[in-house]
Chains A and B, each alone.
Chain A
């Protein structure tokens, strides 16, 4: 059960765009369009931001977008705002012994 690989941190200035990556294998990200992204502010419940690679749940800002290429999924945050500062986690469906795989998380800092 190897975790999906995410960079530990990404930073950007207000108004900029940043992209977070999430790398897996052909057994998870590469094999299925079932990548989700979560935003987690410390002390609060995680929030689903993207599902099925590039779909936003109702109420999620269109500044958040997802994509995938091969075994790597990406989350782009456009027009970065102070409230976007949080930890972001990717997950994927997988054909391994367990159906859910988490990434290690990326801390987004708004400079």
Chain B
């Protein structure tokens, strides 16, 4: 079964760092376009970052310079390194795969989400 499983969320103090993981099954992360999307409490979905199959990366302005998306091909896993965390980063973080090896046809596989809470 094609599947994504996130992990790594938790409670972290403002200014701290956290790394989220997203393990993929039955497809190859390195051949796919992969994204992180988050949902803050009471808010809508917000796109966070994307990594293309060629390694190019893009970020939302709200996280640029603080978050880094990456992948480990040997582990078939996607990551999101989050530094200098702020209260407004509190959210459920989803990883997702774009269908058909491109960025134009929507995200057809999603993880169940992992919760990040930034609070002192």
Do A and B pair up? The answer is yes
Chain A positions within 8 Å of B, measured between CB atoms, are: 1, 32, 34, 36, 38, 40, 44-48, 50-52, 55, 57, 87, 89, 91, 93, 97-105
Are the C-beta atoms of B105 and A46 separated by less than 8 Å?
no
Tell me the bound Cα distance from A93 to B33 in angstroms: 13
20 other A-B residue contacts (CB within 8 Å) besides A47-B110, A91-B106, A98-B59: A34-B104, A44-B112, A46-B37, A46-B96, A48-B99, A48-B106, A51-B105, A52-B105, A55-B105, A89-B45, A91-B47, A93-B104, A97-B58, A98-B47, A98-B50, A99-B58, A99-B103, A100-B50, A101-B47, A104-B44
Tell me the bound Cα distance from A46 to B103 in angstroms: 17
Report which residue of A87, A98, A102 has the largest number of chain B beta carbons within 10 angstroms of its beta carbon.
A98
Are the C-beta atoms of B106 and A51 separated by less than 8 Å?
yes
Are the C-beta atoms of A45 and B94 separated by less than 8 Å?
yes
Cβ-Cβ contact count across A and B, 8 Å cutoff: 74
**Cβ-neighbour of B44 out of A45, A51, A89 (below 8 A):** A89
Tell me the bound Cα distance from A97 to B57 in angstroms: 11
Are the C-beta atoms of A48 and B47 separated by less than 8 Å?
no
Tell me the bound Cα distance from A34 to B102 in angstroms: 11
The answer to whether the Cβ of B88 comes within 8 Å of any Cβ in the partner chain is: no
Chain A residue numbers with a CB within 8 Å of B112 are 44-45
Are the C-beta atoms of B45 and A38 separated by less than 8 Å?
yes
Interface string of B85-113 (1 = CB under 8 A from A): 00000000010100100011111101111
Taking the closest CB of chain A, its distance from the CB of B69, in whole angstroms, is 12
Are the C-beta atoms of B47 and A45 separated by less than 8 Å?
no
Interface string of B45-62 (1 = CB under 8 A from A): 111001000000011110
| With A102-B46, A105-B44 as contacts: A36 and B106 at CB distance below 8 Å | yes
Q: Across the two chains, which residue of chain A brings its CB closest to B99?
A: A51
Are the C-beta atoms of A100 and B59 separated by less than 8 Å?
no
Are the C-beta atoms of A40 and B106 separated by less than 8 Å?
no
The 9 closest A-B pairs by CB, nearest first: A36-B106, A51-B106, A105-B44, A45-B110, A34-B104, A51-B105, A48-B106, A100-B47, A48-B108
Chain A residue numbers with a CB within 8 Å of B46 are 102
